[in-house]
Amino acid sequence: RHQEILDGLRRDGRASTYETRFRRRNGMAVDLSLLVDMIELDGRPRMVSMLTDVTGRKRMEEQLRKLSMAVEQSPESIVITDTDAVIQYVNEAFLRASGYSVEEVIGAKPSLLSSGLTSRDTYADLWETLGRGESWSGEFINRRKDGVLYTDSVRITPIRQGDGRISHYLSLQEDITERKRAEAELATYRQHLEELVDDRTRELEAAKETAEAANRAKSAFLANMSHEIRTPMNAIMGLTHLLGRRIADPEQIDKLTKINEAARHLLSVINDILDFSKIEAGKLRLEMRDFAPEALFDQVHSLIRAELQAKG
């Protein structure tokens, strides 16, 4: 490359500039801009070179290049306007989202996307916030060039110069139409599910009330039947007692005793049925009482002795 510059100078006599990279004595590489020219000194042509260290500039250019690539390739729409909201820059994502070309949007205002469906309060809050020099976030319902509506989540931030003066506004926009649609569908599904749960809850409550009503009816029936049966049982026991006082035959007295014991056992069963109804009604009270085991077994023996003897 250096030899090409020299050959060009000898041939054309014109100054040339090119950039190259040198390595300092300490090993650090630097970028240099080399200006080479031919001058006449003492009647003889001389080559003059001027070196300029452009390492900082190259580094800044590289950072700007990366920043430019990041902005251009950003999936979010990026818009830069002046303080009068005139668009000065948009990235590729904005063009894809809006359907407009660069020529159509540069110099225009963002209102070119207005659908008329965004509330006036949103715009009022936007300009009031920006007027205070603060960032603003919100949502716009916009309209593409082909007329299709879409929802943008927007964040607008003032760009300040070194002296603090606001010179531009940076707008980051994300198309959240699908997300809003999904949220709406999810809300509808959730509402439907809640309605199903409410309906099922009412059905269960109704079934519970029906079951409780049937249970109360059964308990009432058991209680009523126990009273109805206990009345004739008391009569049987009373008549048996009276007959026992008039009869002297031991065999007949034994039979009357068995009848009386059987009646008393049946009466205890009836009382147990009544207790069962009390359990269901939550009114049963347990008692701690002493009892005679021998008397209990004697009562059981008297009830089943006849059947045991009949079976040998």
pLDDT of the residue at 81: 94
Residue 44, phi-psi category: left (phi > 0), alpha (psi -120 to 50), beta (remainder): beta
User: Which stretches of the chain drop beneath a pLDDT of 70?
Assistant: 1-16, 70, 226, 277, 280-282
299 close to 265: Cβ distance less than 8 angstroms? yes
34 close to 15: Cβ distance less than 8 angstroms? no
Q: How far apart are CA 189 and CA 115, in angstroms?
A: 29
pTM, 2 dp: 0.51
Which residue in the block uniquely carries the two structure tokens 């997300």?
A: 179
Long-range CB contacts for residues 84-88, cutoff 8 Å, separation at least 24? 85/109, 85/110, 85/111, 85/169, 88/168
Q: What is the pLDDT of residues 150-199, one digit of tens each?
A: 999 999 999 998 888 999 999 999 999 998 899 889 999 999 999 999 99
pLDDT of the residue at 151: 93
Which residue in the block uniquely carries the two structure tokens 């009373």?
A: 238
- 3-state SS, residue 240: helix
> CA 138 → CA 83, 122, 182, distances in Å?
19, 8, 19
- 3-state SS, residue 277: helix
Q: What tokens were used for 110?
A: 């963002």
From the list 155, 130, 128, the residue with the least C-alpha distance to 140 is: 155
For 168-230, give the secondary structure using H, E and C: EEEEEEEECHHHHHHHHHHHHHHHHHHHHHHHHHHHHHHHHHHHHHHHHHHHHHHHHHHHHHH
